[in-house]
Chains A and B, each alone.
Chain A
Amino acid sequence: MKGLRNYLDKIKPNFSKGGKFEKLHSFYDAIDTLLFVPNKVTSSGSHIRDAIDMKRTMFLVVIALIPALLFGMWNVGYQHFNMLGLYADKTFWEVFAFGLIKVLPIVVVSYATGLTIEIIFAQYRGHDVPEGFFVTGMLIPLILPVSIPLWMVVLATTFAVIIGVEAFGGAGMNIFNPALLARAFLFFAYPSQMSGDKVWVAGLPTAEGVVDGFSGATPLAHIAQNELPKMASFSDMFYGFIPGSIGETSTFAILIGALLLIWTGIGSWKIMLSGVLGALSLGALLQWIGHGNPEITNAYFHIPAYYHLVLGGFAFGIVFMATDPVSASQTEKGKWIYGFLIGVFAVLIRAFNPAYPEGVMLAILLLNAWASLIDHYVIEANIKKRLKRIKIKV
């Protein structure tokens, strides 16, 4: 590795101020620091530092996303061949390869678009390339339907990075989760590509030889259309053998990622747990009201509360999006409230807003906007406690 280091040291002056490729400094720096942890030593304060850095943090989040990604690829193949009634004839690898070919371009396009913009902004602003997009670039493909045109991925990613992050001053200053912003952008700009029954299975709208009765509808759609009997079984939904956004269908795969995030200490278990509790509370309330009241036609009153956890993007959202430390509540007490409200609002939107079959995306974006407000009250409470201490003494 010494040779590589020497080579980097040799070309470094070209990218420094006054060098030939001065304009590519941020790009060089990103590559250099990716290959080598810098030799910088502490100059003030604590002489030793924790081994963790932003690269390790983001790398582990990407690792946590891998189960969902791999399962998503397989499921794309499975849904496709299932639609054609050919699944039984295909080997595991054929199914997986089909999904790989469909999904990989979306991932590549998302990364290429986002990283290019990030590097340009880093150069323009004169700082290092932030690692946040390593995660965002993976999140965006996983929350899109497989049939999404690639140019829309480019558009949405550009929107998310420029309007969602850079306009606020860069990574760490943004209010909304950039990946969700990308999805929301497409959802409202191109609803026909982002919702309905036709977008979740690769090749569905034009495919020939679709088996009779195959609709491509997600379980959420079945509930919204009051077709409970058609809905997939709980175990199919838990393991993810259902149509849906690429990476969000398998609660099981997401759970593996969640455990990794919690065990390593990167993801906030408080947000995840309170989110689950929030969804279960409202879900249970609906179920309780609906129980023995067949005149209530809304199907959400007639499903068990825990179904909410495996339906749609709930698990993915609460594990990977709600826990984004930048857009979440920053106080520890605030995280409980923030997570709980996401759970409640996700179910609320699902059950009572017929325009949006899925509520998680909007619930998280709403709570992103409220996170500072929650923090404000937590901080005020802390201040009041300190003031009270003086009053007691007097």
Chain B
Amino acid sequence: MPLKIEISKGLNIPLKGKAEKILSPGQIIGSTIALKPTDFPNLTPKAAIKEGDKVKAGDVIFYDKNTPEIKFTSPVSGTLKSIVRGERRKILEFVIEADSIIEYQQFTVGDVANLSKEQITELLLNSGTWPFVRQRPYNIIANPTDTPKAIFISGFDSSPLAPDLDFLLNGQDADFQKGIQALKKLTEGDIHLTVNGVFPTSKLFENTKDVELHTIVGPHPAGNVGIQIHHIDPMNKGEVVWFIHPQDVLIIGRLFNKGIFDATRIIALTGSEVEKPRYYRTILGSSIDKFLKDNIKPGNHRYISGNVLTGTRIGKEDFLGFYHHQITVIPDGNQYEFMGWLAPGFNKFSLSRTFFSWLMPNKEYVINANVRGGRRALMITGNFEKVFPMDLLPMQLLKAMIIEDIDLMEKLGIYEVVEEDFALCEFVDTSKTDIQAIVRKGLDLMIKELN
């Protein structure tokens, strides 16, 4: 049954640098492509090929050591240039030098309607599209042997400077429908697609069959799939749901329509330090150098794959993350501010009204990556609750994670949350605690203790 959800808690952070709805012509692929095992929490990568080996798009680059069926395939044809390793020889990146024209590995797909769950699963695994499907609890790649109680898709992104998903999906109705058709076979329950109730639903979503179409109205994190799950069909102990980004549904759709791993992706280049924020057609794992060229204001910047709340910090020649559809460039903020805590603060954004910026509710802000204060004990209460639209006790759950009390975490609802659900708590936290890292640690502990 379609639901109309309304939430009031949350916070829209009004940043400068939203992407204009202009799609840069052609497909721009960076000078190199990389797959980063670090994009996948709790994954131990094992290389399938050696440096210098040639690959086609769709050929396996590496796989999960613990679940070898889960494979990661190259989005382009080319040569594996290097395997970048970090501390203790941990693999950080598989860097691929792309050919000028992409050659695709052909997969035999057949008609989705006639395929069984097992056959579809196998195809997704072999083509490297499986890792797009993630599961809750724990925010990790879905386990191919599970049958989830439902699959959730958020039809919009409410995070700061987020791309407009309707714009990303525009005109690709057939691929989207095909992707949904394939996913539908993987679950016994429904596919829940939730769209922003403020705007009219796009034709593409409205016409999609095999989904339950819900609407949600409210500030960020209304677009986070976790909030939608909590209000549509909350997670209990032992249950598994899967979720996937709409643009990745397209990639699965293309697999079944064309028989190839076509990881083309439209991304938004955003942030206050971008001269002309707009959209680009590129490919999974592309290096970001070509988008930034002649399009960045001078200065010391922070480059983020993803949004400012949950994205990954990258260098200016690094790569787009596996689950990211956006690049954000903000000032680095590596400078002292004289008596900053005393200033009236007309240009300082805060959930509280402790700075005079509350006088200008419609202002857009340039916010840099400075921590804005010293790390303190968790003293202030009541702020997390203002930005946490779930019927959970965020502060108490966080403290249960800090003391590593498995039993208490479970009781307080750890199965319902992942890092991104606490991102706003981390933003508003007066004590400047790195909360998402604590949540990840808590989730990893649960995985370790329960399996």
Residues of A participating in the B interface, judged by any CB pair closer than 8 Å: 1, 4-5, 33, 35-57, 59-60, 128, 130-132, 170-173, 263-266, 268, 325-326, 328, 330-332, 335, 375, 378-379, 382-383, 385-386, 389-390, 393
* Complex Cα–Cα for A36 and B332 (A): 17
Given A40-B371, A49-B370, A49-B372, also A59-B379 (CB < 8 A): no
Question: Can you list 28 A-B contacts with CB-CB less than 8 angstroms, sorted by A residue number?
Answer: A1-B338, A36-B336, A36-B338, A36-B339, A37-B372, A41-B333, A43-B434, A45-B435, A46-B427, A46-B436, A47-B328, A47-B330, A48-B160, A48-B427, A49-B426, A50-B428, A52-B351, A52-B354, A52-B372, A59-B342, A171-B379, A172-B376, A263-B353, A325-B381, A331-B395, A335-B382, A383-B412, A389-B236
B313 interface residue (CB < 8 Å to A): yes
Say which residue of A5, A56, A389 sits within 8 Å of B341 (CB atoms).
A56
B348 interface residue (CB < 8 Å to A): yes
Asked if A47 and B309 make an inter-chain contact with CB atoms under 8 angstroms apart, the answer reads yes
Asked if A170 and B371 make an inter-chain contact with CB atoms under 8 angstroms apart, the answer reads no
Choose among A56, A325, A383 the residue with the greatest number of B CB atoms under 10 Å from its CB.
A56
* Complex Cα–Cα for A47 and B271 (A): 12
Given A50-B372, A60-B354, also A38-B336 (CB < 8 A): yes
* Complex Cα–Cα for A47 and B326 (A): 14
Shortest CB–CB separation between residue A150 and chain B, in angstroms?
A: 29
Asked if B236 and A390 make an inter-chain contact with CB atoms under 8 angstroms apart, the answer reads yes
* Complex Cα–Cα for A332 and B382 (A): 6
Say which residue of B15, B335, B371, B378 sits within 8 Å of A42 (CB atoms).
B371
In the complex formed, the residue of B with least CB distance to A335 is B382
Say which residue of A41, A56, A390 sits within 8 Å of B302 (CB atoms).
A41
* Complex Cα–Cα for A59 and B309 (A): 27
Shortest CB–CB separation between residue A172 and chain B, in angstroms?
A: 3
* Complex Cα–Cα for A48 and B371 (A): 7
Q: Mark B348-360, 1 if CB is under 8 A from A, else 0.
A: 1111111101000
Asked if A170 and B427 make an inter-chain contact with CB atoms under 8 angstroms apart, the answer reads no
Q: A1-B338, A53-B373 are in contact. List 16 more A-B contacts (CB 8 A).
A: A40-B371, A42-B369, A43-B434, A47-B369, A48-B308, A49-B432, A50-B350, A51-B355, A52-B351, A52-B373, A54-B374, A128-B374, A172-B378, A325-B380, A382-B392, A389-B236
Q: How many of chain B's residues touch chain A, expressed as a range?
A: 35 or more
Asked if B434 and A40 make an inter-chain contact with CB atoms under 8 angstroms apart, the answer reads no
Choose among A36, A268, A390 the residue with the greatest number of B CB atoms under 10 Å from its CB.
A36
Asked if B373 and A37 make an inter-chain contact with CB atoms under 8 angstroms apart, the answer reads yes
Shortest CB–CB separation between residue B177 and chain A, in angstroms?
A: 31
Specify which chain A residues have a CB less than 8 angstroms from the CB of B197 in the assembled complex: none
Specify which chain B residues have a CB less than 8 angstroms from the CB of A54 in the assembled complex: 373-374, 376, 379-380, 430-431
Asked if A49 and B381 make an inter-chain contact with CB atoms under 8 angstroms apart, the answer reads no
B68 interface residue (CB < 8 Å to A): no
Asked if A393 and B354 make an inter-chain contact with CB atoms under 8 angstroms apart, the answer reads no
Specify which chain A residues have a CB less than 8 angstroms from the CB of B377 in the assembled complex: 130, 170-173
Given A39-B334, A383-B411, also A325-B382 (CB < 8 A): yes
* Complex Cα–Cα for A67 and B114 (A): 77
Asked if A33 and B354 make an inter-chain contact with CB atoms under 8 angstroms apart, the answer reads no
Given A36-B339, A37-B341, A47-B304, also A53-B432 (CB < 8 A): yes
B residues 1-39 near A (Cβ < 8 Å) are 13, 15
B153 interface residue (CB < 8 Å to A): no
Given A38-B336, A60-B354, A325-B382, also A48-B330 (CB < 8 A): yes
Shortest CB–CB separation between residue A9 and chain B, in angstroms?
A: 9
Shortest CB–CB separation between residue B346 and chain A, in angstroms?
A: 11
Shortest CB–CB separation between residue B11 and chain A, in angstroms?
A: 9
Shortest CB–CB separation between residue B442 and chain A, in angstroms?
A: 13
Specify which chain B residues have a CB less than 8 angstroms from the CB of A325 in the assembled complex: 379-382
Say which residue of A48, A330, A389 sits within 8 Å of B13 (CB atoms).
A48
Choose among A53, A131, A172 the residue with the greatest number of B CB atoms under 10 Å from its CB.
A53
Between A and B, how many residue pairs show CB distances below 8 Å? Answer: 205
Specify which chain B residues have a CB less than 8 angstroms from the CB of A263 in the assembled complex: 353
Shortest CB–CB separation between residue A132 and chain B, in angstroms?
A: 7
Asked if A382 and B340 make an inter-chain contact with CB atoms under 8 angstroms apart, the answer reads no
Given A40-B371, A50-B349, A52-B354, also A328-B379 (CB < 8 A): no
The 7 closest A-B pairs by CB, nearest first: A53-B373, A172-B377, A37-B340, A51-B348, A45-B436, A55-B341, A265-B352
Specify which chain A residues have a CB less than 8 angstroms from the CB of B423 in the assembled complex: 45-46
* Complex Cα–Cα for A33 and B412 (A): 37
Asked if A49 and B427 make an inter-chain contact with CB atoms under 8 angstroms apart, the answer reads yes
Given A38-B336, A171-B377, also A59-B311 (CB < 8 A): no
Shortest CB–CB separation between residue A152 and chain B, in angstroms?
A: 28
Specify which chain B residues have a CB less than 8 angstroms from the CB of A33 in the assembled complex: 374
Specify which chain A residues have a CB less than 8 angstroms from the CB of B426 in the assembled complex: 45-46, 49
Say which residue of A35, A55, A375, A382 sits within 8 Å of B373 (CB atoms).
A55
Asked if B371 and A51 make an inter-chain contact with CB atoms under 8 angstroms apart, the answer reads no
B residues 396-451 near A (Cβ < 8 Å) are 396, 411-413, 419, 423, 426-432, 434-437
In the complex formed, the residue of B with least CB distance to A328 is B381
Shortest CB–CB separation between residue B260 and chain A, in angstroms?
A: 35
Asked if A53 and B382 make an inter-chain contact with CB atoms under 8 angstroms apart, the answer reads no
Asked if A51 and B345 make an inter-chain contact with CB atoms under 8 angstroms apart, the answer reads yes
* Complex Cα–Cα for A48 and B301 (A): 13
Specify which chain B residues have a CB less than 8 angstroms from the CB of A390 in the assembled complex: 236-237
Asked if B337 and A47 make an inter-chain contact with CB atoms under 8 angstroms apart, the answer reads no
Shortest CB–CB separation between residue A372 and chain B, in angstroms?
A: 11
B residues 305-346 near A (Cβ < 8 Å) are 308-311, 313, 328, 330, 332-342, 345
* Complex Cα–Cα for A371 and B57 (A): 60
Asked if A52 and B350 make an inter-chain contact with CB atoms under 8 angstroms apart, the answer reads yes
Asked if B375 and A128 make an inter-chain contact with CB atoms under 8 angstroms apart, the answer reads yes
Say which residue of A50, A53, A332, A383 sits within 8 Å of B351 (CB atoms).
A50
Given A47-B311, A332-B385, also A379-B337 (CB < 8 A): no
